[in-house]
Amino acid sequence: MWDYTEKVKELFLNPRNAGEIENPDAVGEVGSITCGDALRLTLRLGEGERIVDAKFKTFGCASAIASSSILTELIKGKTLEEASRITNRDIAAALGGLPEEKMHCSVMGMEALEAAIASYRGVRPAAEVMEEGQLICKCFGVTDTRIRRVVRENGLRTVEQVTNYTKAGGGCSSCVMDIQDILDEELAAREAARTSQPPPPRKLTNLQKISLIQQVITDEIRPRLKGDGGDIDLVDVDGNKVHVSLRGMCTGCMAAPVTISYVQDRLREFVTPEIDVIVDEG
């Protein structure tokens, strides 16, 4: 029995935005019923390429339905450019997490969004391009290109994780050795990149850290949030724990987990990788 969060259960039993937009501006289709999961995402766009409506049709399990439903909630009100930055990790985070065995459902949501944006812009979607790679898993139609992308974007390290995120190797298992070969190459490349990185910056004093955090919030984070009608305040800094308060449209927003993930990523990038962001209510 999968350990689903309450949010997953809620959106499985009462999915939001299920259905299809008539004469949509953008359509994204990924997956295949024969492989067990399929998703059709339709979008209505307004001024400035802003997504004013989004609906989905999903064939799949509870995680697939919940992932598709939360995706539509995350992207509504965003521009295509803003929506394009949503990853499968953001989808899973907005659900309060997914069982690792079901992470492929969040990947399917991300790829459907990419396909919809590509259809609107008249370019080939990433999922279609990835299909041109070497076919590794014949059971689920997964190429080496797709495996490499998911491994890189999610930091995967084992064949089991690759199966959880792509379904590759989850059928007859004849491709397991090929998946391991791809993993070995990617892990070797990852280690080479890590060892070639410059030495870490000097340790910041507490005052320097607080000042830098405030600067990053002011220069990097706040302008983006204000663009969506939201805002953020720095409440406190306790070691590497950064307490913030969301304001404006960010307060109580369904996409708040994505916002916090973005804030944490930026602070880890510009200040220190050890930072954890905590939202204080009120």
The residues carrying an active-site annotation are 35, 105
User: Do residues 261 and 89 lie in contact, with contact meaning Cβ atoms separated by under 8 Å?
Assistant: yes
User: Do residues 27 and 41 lie in contact, with contact meaning Cβ atoms separated by under 8 Å?
Assistant: yes
Angle subtended by helix axes 103-121 and 62-75, to nearest 10:
40
Buried b (16+ CB within 10 A) or exposed e, 19-43: eebeebbbbbbbbeeebbbbbbbbb
Structure tokens at 195: 């060892």
> Taking Cα atoms as reference points, which of 194, 219, 220, 200 lies closest to residue 274?
200
> Taking Cα atoms as reference points, which of 11, 13, 22, 25 lies closest to residue 109?
11
Give burial (CB, 10 Å; 0-12/13-18/19+) of 117: buried
